[in-house]
Structure 1
Amino acid sequence: MDRRVKDYLQHFQLSDLFPEYVQRDMIVATYESGERLFSQGDDAHTLYFLVEGKLKISMLSPEGKRLILAFKTPLDIVGDIEYVRDCRFINTVEAVTDIVVIGISYTILRKDMSDNAAWLQFLLETVTKKFETKTRAMNFSLLYAVDVRVASYLLSMTPTQPKLDSTSLIDMADLIGTSYRHLNRVLQQFEKAGWISKKRGKITLLDRAALLEQAGQNIYE
């Protein structure tokens, strides 16, 4: 068994949830910032426990626009809904920072854990929280002004450093559910207020406290 698996499971108090013979089939994987674990519609065959770093979860709307559902930090799970429903991945998941995940195949889970009451209860709780999160996320555009969503996005995308690649503002606009023009206006307002600077394809956060106040409760977290 990879010693790191055992250490992570102990750290997050999951050791008792998985028998040792199941732990032996778990793997540790790393992804760099910006790298995708999987895309919406990909075949689903692995469940991941996020144990280090930060993830962004998004989905493609029926109109063809990507929308942010949530940002996730440890401990969190991705691939659990697909495991229960036996379907393709329903969201796109990518690393915001460098991340570490523990992966275990659905085949192993179905063979060795399908009758484990503690695991099924754990899974029920996590899946229920996911649907609550998705419901909140789908209401963002109705409940929050664009400047609040932009501030929250900037904060969520820069957990470890103040700079963000701004080369794809169209993607950013789609993710937060607004137009490119509206996003640009909000960014110009933030820059005029001295909260950010835009230079050479980068957005730099200059006043995190002001952005936090603008975002209120960070809605994407």
Structure 2
Amino acid sequence: MKVWKDRALLEHYLHIHRIESVFHEQIVPHLSLYGFDRGELVCSQGDPSQYLYVLVKGKVKVYTTSAEGKTLILSFKTPLEVVGDIEYVQGTDILNTIEAVSSVVMIGVHHRWLKKYAKDYPPLLQFLLRIITQKFAVKSNSLSFNLMYPVEVRLASYLLSVSFDESGSLFTEEPSAIHLMDTANLIGTSYRHLNRVIRQFCKEGLIERHKGCILVKDREGLSALANHNIYEK
């Protein structure tokens, strides 16, 4: 994680996302920019919640881990999104693990400043209310609904999400490493079934597989198979 004290850049992100009014003038000096590299964890399920983050650039992966240690993808998020909002309001530990899928920039503020200067500030409360209600509207059917899709659709959506950033650009022309067991858990299928689907995708020319790495060869084909990306709403 990197921390920047660049006020001009901070004001730039506040402006382009039209959220200048969300933060009280007394809180703005306590806002910082945080950078996370691809694959870096923003926060981990079960950890104490200390910061409220606003995602202003990049893409993150949200997943949960069961008591048995199995993980499951919940969604991928792009700007404008908030991390730690429910935890801040309810005073709970981190509910889900958030991982940077691309290089990520977030505006962050410690809870103590929010509680001191903004616990009753209407613009911030309205902003959080809007974000949280959107999350509950999506989550009300997303988990069970996503698992009702065939594995082909889930894998196509997953590959699109981990291969392309929020602007739709390919992260890299080099193949991305994919851990099959982890991916099987994340999309809720078996290792054996996932292997069969990957072989099918290779045969159809959608992807190329080489030594544990996968390169998307036909983005349009994957998009058509997914119909719409079930992990990005």
| TM score, norm. by length of structure 1 | 0.95
Determine the structure 1 residue equivalent to 2:167: none
Relative to structure 1, is the Cα distance of residues 180 and 140 closer, same or farther in structure 2, using a 3 angstrom cutoff?
farther
1:153 to 146, 155, 158: 158
1:45/1:106 contact within 8 Å kept: yes
Determine the structure 1 residue equivalent to 2:220: 209
Determine the structure 1 residue equivalent to 2:187: 176
Instruction: Tell me, yes or no, if structure 1 residue 48 matches structure 2 residue 53.
Output: yes
2:89 to 84, 87, 90: 84
2:23/2:123 contact within 8 Å kept: no
Determine the structure 2 residue equivalent to 1:112: 117
Using the alignment, how far apart are the partners of 1:210 and 1:148 within structure 2? 11
2:53/2:107 contact within 8 Å kept: yes
Determine the structure 1 residue equivalent to 2:207: 196
The secondary structure found in structure 2 opposite 1:89 is coil
The secondary structure found in structure 2 opposite 1:203 is strand
- Cα-to-partner distance string for 1:75-106 (whole Å, 9 max, x where unaligned): 11100010011010000001000111110011
The one-letter amino acid paired with 2:38 is S
The secondary structure found in structure 1 opposite 2:120 is coil
Q: How far is 1:138 from its partner? A: 1.3
The secondary structure found in structure 1 opposite 2:95 is coil
Using the alignment, how far apart are the partners of 2:70 and 2:145 within structure 1? 15
Q: How far is 1:18 from its partner? A: 1.4
The one-letter amino acid paired with 2:185 is D
Using the alignment, how far apart are the partners of 2:131 and 2:21 within structure 1? 17
Using the alignment, how far apart are the partners of 1:135 and 1:94 within structure 2? 22
Q: How far is 1:70 from its partner? A: 0.8
Determine the structure 2 residue equivalent to 1:165: 177
Moved more, 28-37 or 61-70: 61-70
Using the alignment, how far apart are the partners of 2:152 and 2:111 within structure 1? 41
The secondary structure found in structure 2 opposite 1:33 is coil
Determine the structure 2 residue equivalent to 1:70: 75
Determine the structure 1 residue equivalent to 2:34: 29
Using the alignment, how far apart are the partners of 1:119 and 1:178 within structure 2? 40
- Cα-to-partner distance string for 1:34-54 (whole Å, 9 max, x where unaligned): 000111001100011111110
Alignment identity in percent?
45
Using the alignment, how far apart are the partners of 1:24 and 1:53 within structure 2? 24
- Cα-to-partner distance string for 1:82-141 (whole Å, 9 max, x where unaligned): 001101000000100011111001111111111112211111111111122323331145
1:47/1:79 contact within 8 Å kept: yes
Using the alignment, how far apart are the partners of 2:112 and 2:147 within structure 1? 40
Using the alignment, how far apart are the partners of 2:154 and 2:176 within structure 1? 16
Determine the structure 2 residue equivalent to 1:136: 141
| TM score, norm. by length of structure 2 | 0.90
Using the alignment, how far apart are the partners of 1:176 and 1:136 within structure 2? 16
2:41/2:99 contact within 8 Å kept: yes
Count of aligned pairs: 220
